Amino acid sequence: MSAPTPAIDWQLLTTRANEAMTKAYAPYSKFPVGVAALVSDGRIITGCNVENASYGLTLCAECGLISELFASGGGRLIAFACVDGAGAYLAPCGRCRQLLFEHGGNELLVMTTDGVVPMSDLLPWAFGPGHLAHE
């Protein structure tokens, strides 16, 4: 039997994403990003983008979030919010949608400028761990 899903406080997630955004290292793009997610055990984790002079080595906020997920005990992502430097909601890019899908699945709820949508709407026909199952 799985644990009950915690209630989602979108305002708190947005606040935590904004707090994380203020810690971003974005000297090149000047585009700080912060993210926050609710984990299945009730924790809220955060991440921010960390740029690099070798642009291809830049870490997006979602990468930091997934690292924090495992550094703080693992679990499944339940709800996710991403904001820019002005606090406006951002949709994750394709690469980040795949990262989030891996750890939240189709049911992960994502706050967008149009409201809350499931990951299945943002990444239809997603490729995931189930496709790699070996018998």
Q: How far apart are CA 41 and CA 25, in angstroms?
A: 29
Tokens representing 26?
């974005």
Distant-in-sequence, close-in-space partners of 106: CB < 8 Å, separation ≥ 6: 118, 119, 120, 126
Q: How far apart are CA 36 and CA 51, in angstroms?
A: 19
Query: 51 catalytic, yes or no?
Result: no
Residue 81 host element (H or E): strand 77-83
Catalytic residue (choose from 19, 51, 62, 68): 62
Catalytic residues: 62
